[in-house]
Structure 1
Amino acid sequence: MTSLEAKIDRQKLPRHIAIIMDGNGRWAQEKGQDRLYGHFHGVESVRDIVEGCAELGIGYLTLYAFSTENWDRPAYEVDGLMELLVDTIRNEVETLNRNNIKLHVIGDTNMLPEYARQELKEAMEMTSHNTGLNLVMALSYSSRWELVKAVKSIAEDVKEGKIDPATINQDILQKYLCTSDFPDPELMIRTSGEYRISNFLLYQLAYAELYFTNVRWPDFRKENLFEAIIDFQQRERRFGKTSAQIQEAPL
């Protein structure tokens, strides 16, 4: 166990960590390489962080792998990313099963190529019985797309008489989101020095602690994850209350 890992309070771990994996392209360009070179090396960071979360006993890890806006990138980069995605999933299923990790996918997967959808479907089926870390891949995802989709679905159910509009509340809306089966993230990490949420889990991050680091994603490793968790554990989570109220609350 490293000195940083030893500082982590295992009783106060965030149940759900969400990560915006930013900086692959810039990392590659800084090394005089093609952007896909950065994405390729970013896979090793994914392996390391997934392993770190599983070892700590984190319940849920959501990775923002590909946004709906990313489809507007150059065709060669999008095609390369899709191939990398499929190859990675194909190669990692055995490791996921060995580590009792269950794979989930959120996003507009209809936009993905058929071969990618099929690979994802098979991987989710093959890991569906695992009971450890829930690894959620956000692919072709954006929060605005998710919210519009939820509103349309609610409107259709109201029209069909399945829902009384007067009863619509936060709990009902939550059931129509892609993340209805998961708790909201308590810690959101973004790498590469950008201070934006970038259309990621806008509703779900309402009370998450936000952690930004200048480290590019291909360089992000367990020690960086531990630093983020330690920082999280030093914060006071008030949920709109005062510090005094939190301190007076019974344990």
Structure 2
Amino acid sequence: MTPELIRKVIRIRLADGTYGPGTQLPSERTLAVEFGVPKWVVSRALQPLRDNGDLHSSGGRRGTRVPDPQSLVPLPAIKKIEQIVRSRIGDGTYAVRTWLPSLRHLAVEFGVTATSIRTALKPLHQEKLLASLRTLGTYVVDPGQPGVPPSDRASKTVAYVGQALRERLGDGIYPPGSRLPANPELATEFDVGLTTISKAIRPLRAEGLIVNGPGRSYSARPSYKPPAPVGNATCEPVSCDAGTISEQDHQ
């Protein structure tokens, strides 16, 4: 079973209450046995759900839980986040037809889960101050063009991320033989999920532009070095190596 199918099953269980708010999921090992896959497949299936705030990793042995906004964050704190975002929209910090920081970034800023951020933003969505596109993010609505999102969110596409990495390899930002940032670092930088990073890297690896490194990392392809000359080496027309007799010396 693929990570995508496992993720679909988990989403269904979250929706129908099998895994209710505040409950703990079975361990990844238990889920791996259930689905008949290695543990890493389950980890990959759950990661986008954690990134989106649908699940919360408790760390250590406490495993993965379904967030419960009402129990994890007091309602006054949720209202405070709403008020802060509302004021930023009002004073232009979040200007009309611009994207808000991702749920993940806002969660880090306010020290809460992404699910709590989603709850805080819900009234702003209901008032048509904010709107969201599932694969792109949340933006500030332009009252004059309420259905028109910002047009500068190409960074959410696999093609954009792949092209950006390709350019970095070409212009030396990732010099030959250097280690690329880890996938989670790239996901944070581009504000996308790990699946998008993996898909963007796949063709670069197939073309040999990057190679596998230690610890599931990737490195830029080592630069090509031509073999050293053997036998009758010739000098350049203008200058020769030290020790070579020039025509003037010979005279």
Question: Based on CA coordinates, which of the two structures has the bigger radius of gyration?
Answer: 2
- TM-score tier, shorter chain, comes to under 0.3
Using CA pairs under 8 Å that are at least 6 residues apart, name the structure with larger relative contact order, 1 or 2: 1
Larger fraction in strand:
1
TM-score when normalising by structure 1: 0.26
TM-score when normalising by structure 2: 0.26
